[in-house]
Amino acid sequence: MAFAYSDMLTTIKDRQWALADIDWDAPGAELITPQQRGALAAFMADLVWIEHVGARGFAALTLRAPDGPLKEIYRHFHAEEQKHANAELALMRRWGMLREDSMPVPNKNIQLVIQWLDRYGDELSLPVLGTVIPSLECALDGALVKFLLDEVRDPLCHEVFRHINSDESRHLAVGFQVLEQLGAGPARRIAIETAGFALRPTLLIGALLYTPLLSRMSTNIMAMGLDEEKLWNAVRRYEKAGDRSPDIKRLPLFHLVRMHGRATINRLQPIQGVNDALNKAIDHFPVRVLGRTPSWSKELTYEPVAK
């Protein structure tokens, strides 16, 4: 049956939830162990900002999508990713990991990606965003959330992520559908778009920031105890979408992103060597020179605002 964006939009509207629906003072916060606290706080800080990167991606897609239900869907997804970031901030606050008005600081890789997106996000085309975002959602969002649910016993955390995961399943369903449609276009158009993508220096910089980020996050969560197999399964969801759809297989960029994910998670050379070198450079990069955090990050709040 054909995928109807208008039906999906209705489902998205029906399934809206708000931070105010959750009792943030319910018991369970004490289940965070002192041994977990430090690593979990750093992990949550990264997760909050990765949601925000996702939100920024959907904001760019809102500009690129044709008028109609898909554009409206992206608008909702933008707000949902912000809501995820806010819910994660509220969890951090519940666990005593945030001082009153302070914002968590993400790792340097994420800071650089945020700055890059702030500058170039709106220049990205629908084929590029539409191919990269589902991969990011599978690899980062998917794997990170699984890790959290395995490690954290606070029942409220599980309740929050039930909402978040249900949103994410719709993000992916739409993401794969768009990917399929992109692949169903005329071969000539796909070739032109791919060449246009390959020739843009700003995209090369983006790729040089994205690849060490994925590598660092996967190393981090494996170091914290996530089973490699689970991480791999999360990334495999992206590959499987291609296995199911011959149209998706027609997209050269899909193959590039797929092979990149596979090489990164399995630490294959030469990608691993490139990632290690880039991460070493990023560790020495003085992020101060980038100036302040972009203004859109100010929309973050742990307050239980209804969205």
51 binds Fe ion (CB under 5 A): yes
Q: CA-CA distance, 271 to 260, in Å (whole number)?
A: 8
Q: CA-CA distance, 307 to 294, in Å (whole number)?
A: 22
Q: CA-CA distance, 199 to 101, in Å (whole number)?
A: 43
- Closest CB to Fe ion among residues 171, 258: 171
- Closest CB to Fe ion among residues 285, 296: 296
User: Under rule CB under 5 A, which residues in 3-32 are in contact with Fe ion?
Assistant: none
- Closest CB to Fe ion among residues 84, 275: 84
Cα distances from 6 to residues 55, 71, 260, in angstroms, run: 21, 11, 33
Q: CA-CA distance, 195 to 228, in Å (whole number)?
A: 35
Q: Which of 52, 83, 94, 171 binds Fe ion (CB under 5 A)?
A: 171
- Closest CB to Fe ion among residues 168, 193: 168
- Closest CB to Fe ion among residues 84, 260: 84
Q: What's the min distance (Å) between Cβ of 5 and Fe ion?
A: 17
Q: Are 45 and 300 in contact (CB under 8 A)?
A: no
Q: What's the min distance (Å) between Cβ of 53 and Fe ion?
A: 10
Q: CA-CA distance, 49 to 56, in Å (whole number)?
A: 10
88 binds Fe ion (CB under 5 A): no
Site string for Fe ion, 67-86 (x = CB under 5 A): --------------x--x--
User: Under rule CB under 5 A, which residues in 207-236 are in contact with Fe ion?
Assistant: none
Q: CA-CA distance, 162 to 183, in Å (whole number)?
A: 32
Q: Which residue ranges make up the site for Fe ion (CB under 5 A)?
A: 51, 54, 81, 84, 137, 168, 171
